[in-house]
Amino acid sequence: MSTRETAHSLNLSIKTVESHRQRIKRKLNLSTGTQLVQYAVNWFTGREAGGHQFGAKDEPNAEPEAHTGP
């Protein structure tokens, strides 16, 4: 989806969408829009992204892990 399409569907300005996209890329240490899309696809499908394998414990409704140490 293009920036223009995203802005229109969310009823935001193009500049707002571009600004948010830039901030997200900076926080994730990504430099291109293609990298951002790939990261999002990997995150959504549960594949490894940014050196982290997403698993059940990362899901919001997952059971907490048992604490065995002090």
Phi and psi at 52, nearest 5°, equal: -125, 130
Whole-structure pTM value:
0.60
pLDDT-derived band at 8 (thresholds 50, 70, 90) equals very high
Q: Tell me, what's the pLDDT at 48?
A: 64
pLDDT > 90? residue 1: no
Q: Tell me, what's the pLDDT at 54?
A: 43
Cα 45 to the center of its chain, rounded Å: 11
Cα 61 to the center of its chain, rounded Å: 18
Q: Tell me, what's the pLDDT at 61?
A: 47
pLDDT in tens, 52-64: 444 444 444 445 5
Cβ-proximal residues to 46 (8 Å cutoff; 6+ apart), any chain: 54, 55
